[in-house]
């Protein structure tokens, strides 16, 4: 391995090659259309929302809390893999350029993730805090610099062995970030901001930057951080397409065990037993289902037009159905399931049954909610449309699948 | 007595153009443990996949209790249990749920399931872990889950692929004792392994595979006579057979 810089370039290229492939799939999926729709609805109600917002709404605090969180969170993308635990530690003393590239790259990406919410919140900023665009831009630049400091210091932090010390340092950074972000959004004079900047720079130069003299890089932690970042990306991509490399993380959700008991002990129910447990515990099928249900209810609450209500109801039921469809392929890589002496057709039947139960539950929630908040006519229409979708959705989509398979 | 497993002139593999197995024939009778032995890449796993019905024979056939997979999939699969080389667990199911699911899938009635499960958990010292998820299991514990699932089914034929890997000594002992018990009850067992000393002690007959063909098969005595190595143990026989393959 001649050049660590080359290695870094290659790792980044590999990652983006993979990411672009998935991003293209996401862009081509029908989900983007629903996003446009939500965007249009969203921007219309955004203006209304600003007007409606009470005078004493703590706008500054919203900005401070949000941006403190955004600045503090986030780790350096090192592209370190598990196998590197074997190969790279011997090179550690020569790895400096590699890590510097990682920090700069992360800085670029994270600045984008700072700019995006700031842009979204810009109307609120202009409406309540100040109407100066130059000021907003200055704040963005300062936030970005603060982010760089956080990334550089945060990278040195990971050298500690004990998790408690890492958390302790993150807490210290959080306190410093709160002060800096508060100073920015309350428009403190330049000398205060400058003083803070000097303080942070000194802290980095004489403390964080010296940690490497006594503490080696903790490779397994780097690999873990990197792994969880990639998994987050996979999990998002998995909502749109099948990601085979997605490792499952399990949440027991024991409080739902009583519901799982509803599947009776019978050979025919083998697959329903599995699907229902996978739905509740793995890959966040359950989380997505709950979020879509709550989000749908929220939209039903805000929207007042009758046809808007119908559309929102149907849209969210449809989106939920798409998400639940991925559950069908959940055992594609399992070998044991193929050995069970239970006919394959029961597997599809079990999936269908579970999806219908779940969608019906959502339809009832939407129906009662819209009925109670608006009027019962709209509630009943949402209910009728929803049940039709819940029971015939899979018939439409299966035909489409066959057609694409034949093409 | 009718053979539990009958593999006749089996040619198979992933691709028809490049078969891995060439005319392999052997059988497993009731009351018998048969060791399937060979180097890495000899075709052991492919043989097992054909027995499990996960691959279709290019030529020849596999019968379990006189039936092929095509004739009656459900009966074929109900008659066998598989212990894989690497434990294949569902990350979202607890230990107890693995057992319950297996019992459900194989159509075991609830009462029998409860009794067998209790006994197995006790024997493999896993009673405290019934509510655990696999992410908290060590390699050996995962293997124990697979073994318990197989014994829970209580089929006519057991197929075990390197079942000892990762097990602690007590686990190996429990497993072997259980195997013996099942054998006495009339089951047939096909076991692939590299741990030859153990195989020699527990298996009644051996099949030595090399490059997709059976080189020799039989009891220890039969192997010694066929190869003309009167005092050889299984290790010697194994080396002799594979050396021969290399030179031939």
Residue in chain A closest to B94 (alpha carbons) equals A252
Is residue A396 very low, low, confident or very high in pLDDT (cuts 50, 70, 90)? low
Contact A341 B73 (CB under 8 A): yes
Has residue B1 got a pLDDT over 90?
no
User: d(Cα A181, Cα A192) in Å, to the nearest integer?
Assistant: 12
Contact B84 A336 (CB under 8 A): yes
CB A318 within 8 A of CB A382: no
**Paired tokens of A234:** 């996979």
For residues A28-32, give the mean pLDDT.
70
Number of A to B CB contacts under 8 A, please give it.
66
For residues A249-265, give the mean pLDDT.
87
Q: What is the mean pLDDT of chain A?
A: 87
Contact A250 B92 (CB under 8 A): yes
For residues A362-379, give the mean pLDDT.
91
DSSP E strand stretches across B68-137:
80-83
**Which positions in chain B touch A327 (Cβ < 8 Å)?**
none
Has residue A407 got a pLDDT over 80?
no
pLDDT in tens, B185-231: 999 999 998 889 989 999 999 999 999 999 999 999 999 999 898 88
**Which positions in chain A touch B92 (Cβ < 8 Å)?**
248, 250, 277-278, 281-282
**Which positions in chain A touch B91 (Cβ < 8 Å)?**
248, 250, 282
In this predicted structure, what is the pLDDT of residue A405? Answer: 38
User: d(Cα A372, Cα B177) in Å, to the nearest integer?
Assistant: 66
User: d(Cα A158, Cα A148) in Å, to the nearest integer?
Assistant: 16
Residue in chain B closest to A250 (alpha carbons) equals B92
DSSP E strand stretches across chain B:
5-12, 21-28, 32-37, 59-64, 80-83, 157-161, 188-192, 205-210, 213-218
Has residue A1 got a pLDDT over 60?
no
Has residue B16 got a pLDDT over 60?
yes
Has residue B2 got a pLDDT over 70?
yes
Residue in chain B closest to A343 (alpha carbons) equals B74
A49, A116, A182, A363 from A61: Cα distances, Å: 18, 18, 8, 37
Has residue A165 got a pLDDT over 60?
yes
Residue in chain A closest to B77 (alpha carbons) equals A341
Strand B21-28, strand B5-12: pairing: antiparallel
- Which residue among B54, B110, B133 sits closest to A338, beta carbon to beta carbon? B54
Residue in chain B closest to A264 (alpha carbons) equals B104
**Which positions in chain B touch A269 (Cβ < 8 Å)?**
104
pLDDT in tens, A117-138: 999 899 889 888 888 889 999 9
Contact A339 B133 (CB under 8 A): no
- Which residue among B78, B82, B97 sits closest to A277, beta carbon to beta carbon? B97
CB A179 within 8 A of CB A197: no
- Which residue among B54, B100, B105 sits closest to A267, beta carbon to beta carbon? B105
Contact B73 A343 (CB under 8 A): yes
Among residues B193, B200, B142, B150, the alpha carbon closest in space to that of B171 is found at: B142
Q: How far is B72 from chain A (nearest CA, A)?
A: 10
Residue in chain B closest to A272 (alpha carbons) equals B101
Domain B5-219 has CATH 3.30.70.260: no
| Environment class of B155 (CB within 10 Å of its CB; exposed 0-12, middle 13-18, buried 19+) | buried
Spatial neighbors of B73 by CB under 8 A, at least 6 apart, are A341, A343, B53
pLDDT in tens, B28-53: 999 999 999 988 888 999 999 999 99
Residue in chain A closest to B149 (alpha carbons) equals A336
For residues A155-168, give the mean pLDDT.
90
Has residue A403 got a pLDDT over 50?
no
In this predicted structure, what is the pLDDT of residue A192? Answer: 92
In this predicted structure, what is the pLDDT of residue A404? Answer: 41
Contact B105 A277 (CB under 8 A): no
For residues B4-33, give the mean pLDDT.
93
**Which positions in chain A touch B104 (Cβ < 8 Å)?**
265-267, 269-270, 273
A91: phi then psi, degrees, rounded to nearest 5: -95, 5
Contact B104 A334 (CB under 8 A): no
Percent of chain B with pLDDT over 90: 72
pLDDT in tens, A45-100: 888 888 888 888 888 999 999 999 999 987 899 999 888 888 888 888 888 899 99
Contact A277 B106 (CB under 8 A): no
Has residue B246 got a pLDDT over 90?
no
**Which positions in chain B touch A287 (Cβ < 8 Å)?**
none
- Which residue among A273, A274, A343 sits closest to B74, beta carbon to beta carbon? A343
Has residue A144 got a pLDDT over 80?
yes
A90, A355, A359, A378 from A325: Cα distances, Å: 47, 8, 11, 27
Q: How far is A183 from chain B (nearest CA, A)?
A: 46
In this predicted structure, what is the pLDDT of residue A248? Answer: 63
Has residue A402 got a pLDDT over 50?
no
Q: How far is B107 from chain A (nearest CA, A)?
A: 5
Q: How far is B51 from chain A (nearest CA, A)?
A: 11
Q: How far is A270 from chain B (nearest CA, A)?
A: 5
Is residue B245 very low, low, confident or very high in pLDDT (cuts 50, 70, 90)? low
Question: Which of A340, A343, A344, A345 to substitute to test the interface with B, most B CBs within 10 Å?
Answer: A340
**Which positions in chain A touch B110 (Cβ < 8 Å)?**
265
User: d(Cα A86, Cα B154) in Å, to the nearest integer?
Assistant: 44
pLDDT in tens, A215-245: 888 888 899 889 888 888 887 887 677 677 7
Q: What is the mean pLDDT of chain B?
A: 91
Question: Which of A287, A336, A342, A347 to substitute to test the interface with B, most B CBs within 10 Å?
Answer: A336
Chain A residues whose C-beta is within 8 A of a chain B C-beta are: 248, 250, 252, 265-267, 269-270, 273-274, 277-278, 281-282, 334-336, 338-343
Is residue B167 very low, low, confident or very high in pLDDT (cuts 50, 70, 90)? confident
- Which residue among A250, A269, A343 sits closest to B104, beta carbon to beta carbon? A269
pLDDT in tens, A98-115: 999 999 999 999 999 999
For residues B117-129, give the mean pLDDT.
93
Contact B75 A277 (CB under 8 A): no
Is residue A398 very low, low, confident or very high in pLDDT (cuts 50, 70, 90)? low
Q: How far is B41 from chain A (nearest CA, A)?
A: 20
Residue A282, SS3?
strand
In this predicted structure, what is the pLDDT of residue A265? Answer: 92
CB B46 within 8 A of CB B19: no
Contact B75 A334 (CB under 8 A): no
Torsion of CA B127, B131, B137, B139, to 10 degrees: 60
Question: Which of B54, B86, B92, B156 to substitute to test the interface with A, most A CBs within 10 Å?
Answer: B92
In this predicted structure, what is the pLDDT of residue A401? Answer: 47
């Amino acid at each position: 391995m001649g050049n660590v810089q080359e290695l870094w370039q290659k790792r980044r290229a590999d990652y983006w090659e993979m990411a672009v492939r998935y991003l293209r799939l996401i862009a081509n999926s029908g989900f983007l259309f629903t996003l446009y729709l939500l965007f249009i609805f969203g921007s219309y109600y955004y203006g209304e929302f600003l007007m409606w917002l009470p005078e004493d709404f703590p706008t500054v605090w919203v900005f401070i809390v949000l941006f403190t969180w955004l600045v503090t969170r986030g780790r350096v993308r090192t592209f370190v893999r598990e196998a590197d635990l074997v190969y790279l530690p011997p090179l550690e003393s020569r790895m400096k350029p590699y890590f510097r590239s990682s920090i700069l790259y992360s800085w670029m990406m994270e600045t984008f993730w700072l700019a995006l919410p700031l842009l979204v919140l810009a109307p609120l900023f202009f409406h309540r805090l100040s109407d100066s665009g130059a000021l907003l831009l200055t704040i963005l630049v300062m936030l970005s610099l603060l982010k760089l400091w956080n990334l550089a210091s945060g990278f040195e932090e990971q050298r500690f062995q004990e998790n408690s010390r890492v958390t302790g340092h993150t807490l210290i950074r959080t306190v410093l970030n709160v002060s800096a972000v508060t100073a920015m959004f309350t428009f403190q004079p330049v000398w205060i901001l400058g003083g803070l900047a000097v303080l942070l720079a000194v802290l980095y130069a004489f403390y964080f930057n010296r940690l490497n003299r006594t503490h080696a890089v903790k490779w397994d932690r780097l690999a873990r951080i990197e792994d969880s970042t990639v998994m987050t990306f996979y999990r998002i991509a998995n909502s749109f397409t099948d990601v085979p490399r997605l490792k499952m993380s399990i949440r027991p959700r024991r409080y739902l065990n009583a519901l799982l008991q509803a599947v009776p002990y019978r050979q025919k129910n083998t697959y329903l037993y599995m699907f229902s447990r996978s739905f509740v515990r793995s890959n966040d099928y359950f989380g997505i289902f709950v979020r879509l249900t709550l989000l749908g209810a929220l939209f039903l609450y805000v929207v007042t037009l009758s046809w808007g209500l119908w559309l929102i109801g149907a849209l969210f039921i449809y989106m939920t159905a798409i998400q639940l469809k991925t559950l069908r392929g959940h055992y594609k890589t399992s070998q044991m399931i193929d050995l069970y002496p239970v006919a394959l057709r029961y597997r599809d039947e079990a999936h269908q049954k579970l999806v219908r139960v779940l969608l019906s539950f959502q339809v009832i929630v939407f129906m009662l909610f819209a009925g109670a908040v608006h009027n019962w006519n709209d509630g009943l229409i949402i209910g009728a449309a929803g049940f039709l979708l819940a029971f015939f959705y899979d018939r439409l989509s299966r035909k489409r699948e066959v057609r694409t398979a034949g093409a | 007595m009718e053979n539990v497993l009958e593999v006749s002139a089996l040619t198979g593999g992933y691709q028809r153009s490049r078969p891995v197995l060439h005319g392999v024939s052997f059988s497993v009778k009731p009351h018998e443990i048969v060791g399937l032995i060979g180097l890495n890449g000899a075709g052991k796993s492919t043989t097992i996949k054909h027995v499990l019905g996960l691959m279709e024979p290019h030529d020849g056939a596999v019968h379990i209790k006189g039936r092929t997979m095509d004739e009656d999939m459900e009966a074929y699969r109900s008659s066998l249990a598989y212990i894989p080389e690497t434990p294949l667990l569902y990350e979202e199911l607890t230990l107890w749920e693995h057992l319950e699911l297996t019992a459900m899938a194989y159509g075991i009635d609830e009462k029998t399931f409860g009794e067998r499960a209790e006994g197995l958990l006790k024997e493999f010292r896993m009673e405290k872990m019934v509510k655990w998820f696999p992410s908290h299991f060590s390699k050996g514990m995962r293997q124990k889950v697979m073994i318990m699932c197989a014994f829970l089914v209580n089929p006519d034929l057991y197929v075990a692929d390197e079942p000892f890997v990762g097990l602690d000594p007590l686990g190996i002992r429990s497993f072997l004792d259980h195997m013996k018990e099942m054998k006495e009850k009339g089951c047939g067992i096909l076991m692939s392994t590299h741990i030859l000393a153990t195989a020699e002690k527990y298996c009644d007959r051996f099949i030595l595979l090399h490059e997709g063909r059976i080189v020799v098969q039989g009891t220890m005595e039969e192997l010694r006579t066929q190869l003309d190595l009167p005092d050889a143990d299984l290790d010697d026989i194994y080396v002799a057979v594979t050396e021969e393959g290399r030179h031939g």
